[in-house]
């Protein structure tokens, strides 16, 4: 009887506060709230308006998409430096197909999903076949894909395609812009994959310990291929959204966007050492990037200072992750 009472008493005790777990769940939201508060104080007249908040969400949709793709590459302790070039090439193919008379939404499907997925598959196959780190492979394919974009476009912008395509992505549903809905739908699909499917659990296991995953019967090469296909598809879809928003396909579109993608994932709590992270935290990470860019533009801070801020955030986020994990 005494033993039973003691066990019940132990079970009733509250667990001590664990800052690492708390930060893992809510840290990204705190960072976003702090940034909004800072810019809201510095420029309350322009920043905290309905139109500007909506604009932040729309501008962040592309960053969120490429960030979610980058999340999968980092989740397996890798990286994808080619997301910006895939964005440009997918958007360019989409525009070229529309100019050739292909239905706009079929062109978007081919350019975003098929071309993006194929380019991601090239990355995955090269990583598997060569055994080189994804950093080296995607650094090389980034240059190759960018060169292909310049070749097929003759280094010129491509425009003059269907207004239905542009107007669709410029529209809103119940006040929510289509690009925002589009990126959230992709986020829900990827959330389901990572939390409700065996494939997602295997990817987490692979990121946690590749050798253990191998000896547990997980096909390492197959999952590496899938990870880069997902990254490519997300970058391809971002290219479609970017092309629609600009009303043109730019050969230099997405230049440097790999920095935004990595920052979105890392600030969103994804560990550079693999096996840790959540999709919706990456979505918040993308919103943080969009909020910072928007706020700095309102304050008329020059673009290269924004790069300084972004680089500092990446370093700070990784250092904080390492500190908290200790």
Q: In the 8-state DSSP scheme, what is residue 143?
A: H
Point out which residues pair with 248 in neighbouring strands: 159
Query: Residue 1 has what pLDDT?
Result: 46
The burial of 141, by beta-carbon neighbours within 10 Å (0-12 exposed, 13-18 middle, 19 or more buried), is given as buried
Q: What are phi and psi of 277, to 5 degrees?
A: 150, 165
pTM of the full structure: 0.89
Point out which residues pair with 173 in neighbouring strands: 176
Q: In the 8-state DSSP scheme, what is residue 113?
A: I
Q: What are phi and psi of 282, to 5 degrees?
A: -70, -35
Q: By three-state DSSP, how is residue 159 classified? A: strand
Maximum C-alpha span of the chain: 84
Query: Residue 144 has what pLDDT?
Result: 96
Query: Residue 202 has what pLDDT?
Result: 92
- Non-local (6+) Cβ contacts of 85 within 8 A are 141, 142, 143, 144, 145, 146, 149, 254
Strands (E), the chain: 158-159, 172-173, 176-177, 248-249
The H-or-E segment that residue 182 falls in is: helix 178-196
The candidate with the shortest Cα–Cα distance to 125, out of 226, 227, 273, 225, is 225
- Pair of tokens at residue 8: 């019940």
Domains of the chain: 28-325 (1.10.3470)
The burial of 32, by beta-carbon neighbours within 10 Å (0-12 exposed, 13-18 middle, 19 or more buried), is given as middle
- In DSSP notation, 22-61 reads HHHHHHHHHHHHHHHHHHHHHTTTTTTSHHHHHHHHHHHH
Query: Residue 167 has what pLDDT?
Result: 87
- CA dihedral (71, 76, 80, 83) positive or negative: negative
Query: Residue 12 has what pLDDT?
Result: 53
Q: In the 8-state DSSP scheme, what is residue 217?
A: T
Residue linked to tokens 């997902």: 230
Identify whether the C-beta of residue 239 lies closer than 8 Å to the C-beta of residue 118. no
Query: Residue 304 has what pLDDT?
Result: 78
Distance CA 273, CA 92 (A): 34
Query: Residue 9 has what pLDDT?
Result: 47
Q: By three-state DSSP, how is residue 173 classified? A: strand
| pLDDT per residue rounded down to tens, the chain (326 residues) | 444 444 444 555 667 777 777 777 777 888 888 888 988 888 878 888 889 999 999 999 999 999 999 999 999 999 999 999 999 999 999 999 999 889 988 999 999 899 999 999 999 999 999 999 999 999 999 999 999 999 999 889 888 887 888 888 888 888 889 999 999 999 999 999 999 999 999 999 998 888 888 888 889 999 999 999 999 999 999 999 999 988 889 999 989 899 899 989 988 888 888 888 899 999 999 998 899 888 888 888 877 787 787 778 777 776 776 676 66
């Amino acid at each position: 009887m005494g033993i039973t009472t003691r066990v019940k008493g132990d079970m009733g005790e509250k667990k001590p506060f664990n800052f690492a777990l708390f930060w893992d769940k809510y840290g990204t939201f705190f960072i976003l709230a702090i940034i909004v508060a800072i810019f809201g104080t510095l420029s309350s007249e322009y920043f905290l308006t309905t139109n500007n908040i909506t604009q932040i969400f729309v501008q962040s949709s592309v960053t969120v998409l490429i960030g979610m793709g980058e999340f999968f590459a980092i989740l397996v302790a890798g990286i994808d430096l080619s997301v910006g070039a895939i964005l440009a090439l997918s958007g360019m193919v989409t525009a070229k197909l529309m100019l050739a008379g292909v239905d706009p939404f079929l062109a978007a499907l081919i350019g975003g999903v098929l071309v993006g997925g194929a380019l991601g598959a090239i990355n995955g196959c090269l990583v598997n076949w060569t055994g080189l780190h994804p950093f080296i492979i995607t650094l090389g394919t980034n240059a190759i894909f960018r060169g292909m974009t310049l070749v097929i476009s003759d280094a010129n912008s491509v425009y003059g395609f269907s207004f239905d395509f542009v107007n669709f992505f410029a529209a809103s549903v119940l006040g929510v812009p289509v690009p925002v809905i589009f990126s959230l739908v992709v986020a829900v699909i990827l959330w389901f994959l990572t939390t409700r499917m065996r494939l997602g659990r295997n990817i987490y296991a692979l990121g946690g310990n590749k050798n253990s995953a191998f000896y547990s019967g997980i096909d390492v090469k197959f999952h590496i291929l899938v990870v880069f296909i997902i990254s490519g598809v997300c970058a391809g879809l971002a290219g479609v959204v970017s092309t629609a928003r600009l009303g043109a396909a730019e050969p230099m579109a997405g230049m440097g966007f790999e920095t935004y993608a990595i920052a979105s994932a890392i600030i969103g709590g994804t560990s550079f050492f693999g096996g840790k992270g959540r999709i919706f935290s990456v979505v918040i990470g993308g919103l943080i990037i969009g909020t910072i860019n928007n706020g700095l533009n309102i304050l008329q801070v020059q673009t290269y200072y924004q790069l300084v801020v972004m680089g500092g955030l990446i370093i700070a986020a990784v250092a904080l992750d390492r500190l908290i994990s200790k």
